[in-house]
Every structure is written in structure tokens, then in C-alpha cells.
Structure 1
Amino acid sequence: MKLLTRHLWQTIDELITKPIEKLELQARVEMLLRSRRLSLQLQTALERERELREQKSRFVSMVSHEFRNPLNIIYGFIRLLQQRNLSVERQTDFYQRILAAVSRMVALLDDVLILGKSEADGLASNPTELAIEPFCQKLIEEIKFTARTGHTINFNCEDECVTVHMDEALLRHILTNLLSNAIKYSAPNSTIELRLQCKSQTVIFKVEDQGIGIAPADQERLFESFYRASNVGKIPGTGLGLMIVKRAVERHGGTITVKSEINVGTTFTVTLPLDSKIFHLTPEPY
């Protein structure tokens, strides 16, 4: 009231003695309200800009750190391989460690590129005819070859699945990320399950592991940018993978859910329409 009085009238006496024109009062009040709205919008924009700067700074720092570790591993093992008295077994072990570090860098680079595309155009989709069962089998073989952690990946096609209409690149990114996470967060030599179900209108993928699990409080924020569960410890990661997976799933017009129990395991369920169309998503800043 004080703010309103200060802008509309010089004194209380002026308010009492001078007649008030209804249209003039309405116009002045509307001007004050408009000014207030613009001020709030400006404050919100400035706060959002500050948050974006902080997020981008975290992103650059985190990605730099994630690249530095495998590069140091590669450099170190290359130096060791220069020794002439190494046994064949030691050389083979060092080469495998180098391959694992390279695979980690490639996966991180894929995440960064996908994230950049999602910010630029909301993840462009290019659905094509895809034989889903052979696609899954081939993908599992590729992941097992690059991971080399001793995990068993079982593939179970529970229905007769022939051909679907989906974006192969986005689907590859979804399943690769989920299977790689299952491997990363479960003990060596444990078993990962990929289950495929083809229904009348949808195809369902389930990735199950026997890993460290995710606490209920963490599950609520699991798909946020840079968020990592509280029990990951020193397991490397950027907190970007699942956020990008969720965007890719939504780009297909699908859904993703998680069910998990600490020290028991985690199951991610991805449901996609059999005939994926192009869904225009508004790019979100990171």
C-alpha cells in the first residue's frame, strides 16, 4: 500500500481531497503491476543465467576430469609397453587395459555429442525399419568385447519380434548406456539380463543387474543433469548418461522407469511405440 501511495499520490491529503478518476487509477495500477512483473521476470532470467553458467562450468570441469583419467591410463601403459622384458601375458593385459580406457573415452565422447545435438535440435530422429532381435544380439556382442569385465549378458526375447520402425542410432545409445551402467555398477563376473518383449503397439526393453542398487531418494533425481546416486563411491561417471537416455526415449515417444533395491540390483524398463514417429522436444539447457 505504501508503494502504491508513493507512486500515485504525493500525500494522503491529496488522496482524500482530490477526486479520483477511475480510468486514471486503473491505468496507473496497471503500469505498476506491469513494472513489477517485468522486474520479477528480469530477476528470474538473471537467476537462470547464473545457474546455466554454473552448470556449464561443472560440465567442462567434469568432462575434463573424465577424459584425463583414461588418458593417464593409456599414457602409463604405453610407457610400460616400451619395456623389452615384458612377458606376453603382461603385454596382453596392458593392451586390454588400454582398450578399456579408449572405450571409456569413446562412450564419454558419444554422450557429449548426443548432449550437444539435444541442445541444438532436440535430438533429430530418423526412424527406419529395424530387425530388433538381431540388433540386440549384435549390440550385446559389441559391449562384451569392449567391456572385458567378465560379466555375463543374457538376452531373452520373450515374444516373436520381427521388425520395428525406430531410430537405430538413438536406440543403440539407449541400450548401450543402460547395459554399460549395469556392468559398471555390478560386481565383475555377475550376470546382466536384457529382456525384450514385443506387444501389439509397443516394444519393451528391460535391463536388469545384480549391482549396488539405487536408494529411493536417489531414484527421484536419477534423470537430472550431473546427478549421481549417493552410493557410487569412486566409480567414475558424469551424471549425464541417464539424462540423455531419458531424452532419447522421449524422442521416440516412449517412457523409462527404474526399480531398484540397495545391494540387490536395478531394473530399467524402456517402453517404446513399435512405430516411432518424430516427437518434437524443446531443447533444455545444460
Structure 2
Amino acid sequence: MPGLTVEIGHQPLFKEAVLLQLDTVTTILLTVANALVMLLMLVHTYATRKTYPGFLFWIASMACWFSGGVLSYLLRGRIDPFWVIVAGNGLLLSMPVLFNEGVNRFYGLPARWWRFPLNLALLFIAVAALHYATFINDSLAWRGIIISLGYGLFFLRTAAEPLLFAPPARHHSIQWLLSLCMLPLSFFHFMRLPYFVANPGLRNFAELAARDQYLLTAIILANSIIILVTYSCLSLTSERVESELHKSQQQARIIAEKQRELFAMVTHEFKTPLAVIDRSAQMISFRAINPDEALTRRLGVIRANATHLIGLLDNCMNDAVLAQGMLQLNSTDIQLPDLLQEIREQCAEARPDREIRLLMPERVPNLNGDKRLLALLFLNLLDNALKFSDETKPVLLELRQAPGELLVTVSDSGIGIPPEELDQLGKQTCRASNVAQIPGSGIGLHTARLIAQLHNGSLTIRSSLAEGTSITVSLPAAIANRKA
């Protein structure tokens, strides 16, 4: 094939000897094969590592590339070549639009509502230019200028955007590789502009097409190598991250187990002397002859504080085990009214100066759950209600039956909770800002929420400042499914 020389004025812009003759069919088949390989690699990567964001857009982009090549091959010679070009280019141009969106999502770049519509608009303009530009100037050169500018700017923008917004450090190598895929395509379209400018009366794309096929084939092969390297980087990065994650999970399990053992040891070491103190105070009160009121009060304070510390240790231990997901339910059929009555009596014994009202229907379904944990749940809620409410006002413990669930509500007329802090309550060691002067750790409510979730239930908090707080525990029908 003779060399192709393009001159602007009397200076040659580029001179090239085409050493390899490639027909259109060969180029299309090469494009289809290349797109199919890329598509299969991306599908495999997504199937094995679904955590990568943006991969569905990449898969869709390669599907468009593959479909554009197949469509161009199948329709070639069967319909008007103009419409083959329009359909093929429409699909081929959809590839970088979707690919660009996938890159942005993969890098976690700032979301912009106009980005995807702008890309689609550029796609429409580029494809429409194949036909509608002839109304402005009926010249192949004019169409070539518009299309080359559109393609070149689009690919340049796709390559540059990840470089303008710094992605996470772990993606830097992938960032450069993906940008290198787009830059040659941008260069390919920009380098065609001088030819169109120098030949305003162009009526035949034959010579340019032969030259373009040679260059485009080289770019496709280069991009294939780049994408293969990118795919290898992704796979190696993923394997390294998964290995590090596995090691971190093992270390976390070891730390959690040691933490649980430490909690158990500390709990045991503290509970034993506290139990001795409690029993000693009880024995003194029994054996004292005509104890005066002051002695009785002091012994009561000793026992109350010992009981409080034992309960706090139990809460810490249970909270640690629940948070680590290491606790198995010991489920049995529970008569919830009897359990609530026991909890009420236990709290009334510890706080004889407080009134606790228990409201419940005559018949309710049995509850299938862990009795010890549920007792701890309701005990924590009642203890909080008694602690943060006015001593002159009663605390209400109410059991209700709703369609498909049981509801237990603990209500008080206490100081309430600031509305902006309601969402934070129930998190570990989180307390309302208006209870700083009242002793407590915030563990009790967190433990209660974990126990409710362990029973496939939920815990809801409603509160008004200076009016009181109402906490409702709901247990679903899957748990409350047997009649008493």
C-alpha cells in the first residue's frame, strides 16, 4: 500500500508507510475477541469478589463493546453502511461512558449528579454527528472533525478524571494503568484532526480507514496488555487484602477470647469478696440484738452497694460475650407473666421504697427464649427506670400482645432524654448528657439491646425531657408462637 502523506501548507504533518494491510473484518473480529476476553475476566472477578464497587458498570461497558463489534460484523453488507456505523458506534461509545462511571465508583470519587447525564449527552452528540452534521456542511471532513473532537475529548476526560481526584493509596497503580488505556484512544482521535482540516473536500474515507485500522489495531492490542496487567494487579491486591483480613480476623478472635477470659477472671475475683461482704452484712443484721435504726440503714447500704457491684460485673461480662457473638441461646418455653412478676419482686426487694406497677393481660402466648438473658434484659430496664426517675412516682412494667409479637414496655416519669441523643443510646457505654451526676456506665441498655436482637426482637426508646422515658421490647411471632 502506498505511503500516506498529509500536508498543511507545504510542511508534511505526518508521513507513514503502512506495512501491514488490515481489512475492516479483521479489525472488527479482533475488537470482538478482545472485548469478549475482557468481559469474561470482569465477570469472573465480579463473581469471586463482589465487594469491588463499579464492576457492574465495567461489565456493562465491555458488553457494549462486544455487542458493537458483533453487530457491526453481522450487519455489514446487509443494511445501509451508514446505519451500521451509527449502531456500531452507538454501542462502542456506550463502552467508555459506562467504563468512566465504573472507574469513578471504583475510586470512590465525589458523586456528581451531572456526570452521567453529561457523558450520555456527549455520546448522543457524537453519534448524531454522523448524520446531522451534514445539514451544516455536507462534507465527510466536517463530520470527521466533530466526531474526532467528541471522541478525543471524551477519552481524555475519562483518563484525566481519576488523576484529578486522588483515589485511595492502594489504587494508585491501577489508577495509572486504567488512565493509560484511555489516553491512546484520545490521541488516536486527535491525530486525525489535521487530516480532516487539511482535506475539507474529503469525499472518501478509504485511505484514512486503512491507516486508522492499522493504528487502532495497535491501540487495541496495547490496551489488551494494559487491561490484563490491571486485572492481574486487582487479583494480586485482592488476594493480599484477603490474606491480611484473614490474619486480622484471627488476631481479633484471639484478642476477643483473651478479653473474655480476663472478664471472667476479674468478675470471679471481684464477685467472691463482694458476696462475702453481702452475706456478712446479712448475718450481722440477723444476729444483732435490738439493732438501732442507724445500724440497719448502714447494713442496708452495704448490701445494696454490694448487690449493685455484682450486677455491674455481670453486665460487663454478659455485654462482652454478647458483643463478640460468642453466646448461644439456651431456649426454653417461658411464661412471660411469671418472669416479669419475678423481676418485679426482685426489684421491689432491692428498692422497697419504690412502687413498681405490673400490667398484663390474663392470657398471653408462651415465649421461647433464654430465660436468664431475658431476665437480665428486663432487670436492666427496670433498674434504669428506677435510677433515673422521681422516687415519689411509680415505674410501670406493662406486657401487651400485638399481632404477631409480644411487647414489654418499661415506663417512668423521670428526667427524660434529650431528643438529639436518642439515636446514640443503646450503644456501648453511651449515656445521656443530663445524667452525668447519676452513677452508671451505660452498659445495661446496650446489653438489653443485644439480648433483644439475639432473640430476633428489637428495642425502641421514646422520651421527652422532664416527662419521662418509655422503652419497649418487641419479640416477633417466630419467638412467641405457643399458647400458654
Q: What is the TM-score of this pair, normalised by structure 1?
A: 0.72
- Structure 1 or 2: more helix by fraction: 2
Pairwise CA RMSD: 4.0
Pick aligned residue for 1:134 from 321, 324, 338: 338
Pairwise mapping of residues 120-131 of structure 1 onto structure 2 (< 5 A)?
A: 120-131=324-335
**Identical counterparts, % of pairs:** 25
Q: Structure 1 residues 157 and 5, CA, compared in 2 at 3 Å: closer, same or farther?
A: closer
Report if aligned partners of 1:209, 1:267 keep a CA contact under 8 Å in 2: yes
Structure 2 distance, partners of 1:251, 1:6, is: 43
Moved segments of 4+, more than 4 Å? 1-8, 15-20, 31-43
Pick aligned residue for 2:223 from 16, 22, 45: 22
Pick aligned residue for 2:467 from 259, 264, 279: 264
Structure 2 distance, partners of 1:142, 1:6, is: 64
Provide the secondary structure at the position in 1 that maps to 2:434. coil
Q: Structure 1 residues 253 and 33, CA, compared in 2 at 3 Å: closer, same or farther?
A: same
Report if aligned partners of 1:185, 1:211 keep a CA contact under 8 Å in 2: yes
Structure 2 distance, partners of 1:131, 1:33, is: 56
Q: Structure 1 residues 22 and 180, CA, compared in 2 at 3 Å: closer, same or farther?
A: same
Q: Structure 1 residues 25 and 251, CA, compared in 2 at 3 Å: closer, same or farther?
A: same
Deviates more, 1:94-103 or 1:152-161: 152-161
Pick aligned residue for 2:383 from 180, 188, 199: 180
Structure showing greater relative contact order (alpha-carbon pairs closer than 8 Å, 6 or more residues apart): 1
Q: Structure 1 residues 40 and 166, CA, compared in 2 at 3 Å: closer, same or farther?
A: closer
Letter in 2 for 1:126: N
Report if aligned partners of 2:459, 2:471 keep a CA contact under 8 Å in 1: yes
Distance apart, 1:241 and its partner CA: 1.4
Structure 2 distance, partners of 1:6, 1:263, is: 56
Q: Structure 1 residues 139 and 40, CA, compared in 2 at 3 Å: closer, same or farther?
A: same
**Match of residue 97 from structure 1:** 301
Stretches of structure 1 lacking an aligned partner (at least 5 in a row): 9-14, 278-286
Stretches of structure 2 lacking an aligned partner (at least 5 in a row): 1-158, 164-171, 178-183, 188-214
Pairwise mapping of residues 238-249 of structure 1 onto structure 2 (< 5 A)?
A: 238-249=441-452
**Match of residue 364 from structure 2:** 161
Report if aligned partners of 1:165, 1:274 keep a CA contact under 8 Å in 2: no
Report if aligned partners of 2:458, 2:473 keep a CA contact under 8 Å in 1: yes
Deviates more, 1:235-244 or 1:168-177: 235-244
Pairwise mapping of residues 1-286 of structure 1 onto structure 2 (< 5 A)?
A: 21-31=222-232, 88-148=292-352, 150-161=353-364, 163-276=366-479
Q: Structure 1 residues 120 and 257, CA, compared in 2 at 3 Å: closer, same or farther?
A: closer
Q: Structure 1 residues 26 and 170, CA, compared in 2 at 3 Å: closer, same or farther?
A: same
Query: Would you say how many aligned residue pairs link Structure 1 and Structure 2?
Result: 249
Distance apart, 1:184 and its partner CA: 0.6
Distance apart, 1:159 and its partner CA: 5.0
Structure 2 distance, partners of 1:27, 1:270, is: 55
